[in-house]
Amino acid sequence: MQLKSFREFGQLTEAKTTKKVFISHLDKMPPLEFLSLVSELDKKYKGILSRDKISITEKIDGMVLRIGQDKDGKSFIESSAQGSIYKVGDFTVRDKSRGGSGEMGRKFDLLLKLFKADKKVQGVLSKMNNGNGIKIIGEILHTPLGIAELDTIKFVRIAYERAKLGEEWTFIPFKVIDDDGNQYHNTEEVKKALYAISDSKRKYVPPTLNISRDIDISIEISKFKDDILTKYKDLPTLLASRKHADREMKTAITAEIAEYQKQIAKKVISYVNGGLFGNQFEGIVIELPNGTIVKVISDSFKNAPKPEFIQPPKK
């Protein structure tokens, strides 16, 4: 069996997990979803993406990690698609039970051990746990697991500046839920409590970006409306059609729309001057108040060599 990377190790297990959120690439969205997005950005925001009205955050090139306490106050962590693990050693056991060498499991067990022993973060969890349990979902850059490259550390594809990272780890919280998966009643309060305990060894930081001004894609949206929406009548019906007679036209229109998706994605990313931990960054995530979430990936990430996966154990 192929042993996955550290980032994907949790997907080897069958335990009940927090539902994973898949974010669409703006330049690869299905045409109908893209039409809906453009309509929303045009009508409500006039093509101006402002962080005062829209959530625009950095896509971190690390590993998804969930830390929390259940309703009984017992501490745990979860990997990308791994159920809650409470006992140090269980990650290794599960790794080996799936045919792995145990190496990935030991890395997760190390994280579990460190988090359980961290009085500061456990204090935050205990204070915020109102009896319904609490789970903080974020990305972690665990420094000992990165690859050192002069003044940078690479975790997956992006080389982050070592001086801007925590000596041991950097955790970027995104979402807070309770034990039943419901949105925590005061997410920002939890995040602020984490930021307050941040230090040079173990950092807790918001996923901010180096953007000097609002992202303006009004011209691109205007061109899209003139070239596509005006050109083709009843476009949603045509794109949703399964009729053989519409297939050729549908394919041609989809290709035209794809070009505008690429143009808009390129314009969006051009506004970003850098990330949290240096000039290189994976990308950005845009979340609208209506729940629509899209991401745009940077050239640094696209052009970086794919990470090497750990080979499966020899039999």
Task: Compute CA distances 112 → 33, 87, 92, 200, whole Å.
Answer: 39, 8, 11, 20
pTM: 0.84
Where do the domains of the chain lie, and which CATH numbers do they carry?
26-59+210-302 (no CATH), 63-204 (3.30.470)
pLDDT tens profile 157-202: 999 999 999 999 999 999 999 988 899 989 999 999 999 999 999 9
Task: Compute CA distances 199 → 120, 166, 282, whole Å.
Answer: 11, 8, 24
Which residues lie across from 64 on neighbouring strands?
Answer: 139
Task: Compute CA distances 209 → 164, 214, 217, 286, whole Å.
Answer: 14, 12, 18, 12
Report yes or no: 69 and 129 within 8 Å, Cβ to Cβ. yes
Write out the two tokens for 301: 């990430």
Mean pLDDT confidence for 196-221:
94
Report yes or no: 155 and 169 within 8 Å, Cβ to Cβ. no
Helix (H) or strand (E) holding 141: strand 134-142
pLDDT above 90 for 14: no
